[in-house]
């Protein structure tokens, strides 16, 4: 880090052990992205509840080239857990930022499309037909977002299929 780590406690006294834990976790962040310019950690205990006790918030501001990453973890009863969770989120954000800078952006592939071709409402199943003519079995329990009874032949859907006992079977069916 070009600027030394800043640790601030608001409405909470930070022990040497807590500060050392924060320093170690901040140092580990540099393993995931070595061009961190500044890191500021704020730990606060704004809420005192009778039944739950003290709840802690942790905020981490990380300045990297062209951007500032902010992590906020709110309302955790255990200070060490709140700090751990905040630094885990910071690590993930730094990894994503680093991958983006290198051009390694991951794209999620969308589930394939099909249309409902056969329905057997009394038996609770049906079939989907893909664009290449393949038939896929689906059960009423695999339909998400709408009721099985509201499906009609010709309805466009997205599906996730797996190999079943008798061939492909849709494990998830969503109306598009």
Q: Tell me, yes or no, whether 77 and 11 share the same domain.
A: yes
Overall pTM > 0.85: no
Question: Tokens 């310019």 sit at which residue?
Answer: 37
Mean pLDDT of the chain: 86
Q: Output the domain CATH number for residue 75.
A: 3.30.160.100
Q: What is the mean pLDDT of residues 2-31?
A: 88
Q: Tell me, yes or no, whether 127 and 58 share the same domain.
A: no
Between residues 142 and 75, which one has the greater pLDDT? Answer: 142
Q: Tell me, yes or no, whether 80 and 13 share the same domain.
A: yes
Q: CA of 39: how far to CAs of 2, 64, 84, 88, 118, in Å? A: 9, 9, 16, 15, 58
Whether residue 63 is contained in a domain is answered as yes
pLDDT digits (tens, 9 = 90+) for 125-164: 999 999 899 999 999 999 998 999 999 999 999 999 888 7
Domain membership of residue 80 as a residue range: 6-102
pLDDT digits (tens, 9 = 90+) for 42-59: 998 876 655 556 788 899
Q: Tell me, yes or no, whether 95 and 117 share the same domain.
A: no
| Angstrom distance (rounded) from CA 22 to CA 43 | 10
Whether residue 1 is contained in a domain is answered as no
Whether residue 108 is contained in a domain is answered as no
Total of domains in the chain: 2
Q: Tell me, yes or no, whether 64 and 88 share the same domain.
A: yes
């Amino acid at each position: 880090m070009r600027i030394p780590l800043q640790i601030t406690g608001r409405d909470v006294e930070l022990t040497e052990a807590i500060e050392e834990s924060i320093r170690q976790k901040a140092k580990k962040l540099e393993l995931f992205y070595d061009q961190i310019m500044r890191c500021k950690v704020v730990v606060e205990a704004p809420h005192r509840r009778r039944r739950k006790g003290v709840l802690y918030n942790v905020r981490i501001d990380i300045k990297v080239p062209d951007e500032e990453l902010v992590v906020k973890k709110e309302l955790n009863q255990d200070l060490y857990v709140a700090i751990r969770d905040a630094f885990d989120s910071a690590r993930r954000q730094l990894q994503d930022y680093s991958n983006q800078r290198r051009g390694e952006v991951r794209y999620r592939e969308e589930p394939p499309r099909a249309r409902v071709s056969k329905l057997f409402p009394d038996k609770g199943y049906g079939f989907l037909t893909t664009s290449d003519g393949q038939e896929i079995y689906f059960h009423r329990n695999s339909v998400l977002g709408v009721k099985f009874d509201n499906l009609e032949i010709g309805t466009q859907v997205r599906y996730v299929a797996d190999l079943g006992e008798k061939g492909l079977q849709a494990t998830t069916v969503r109306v598009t």
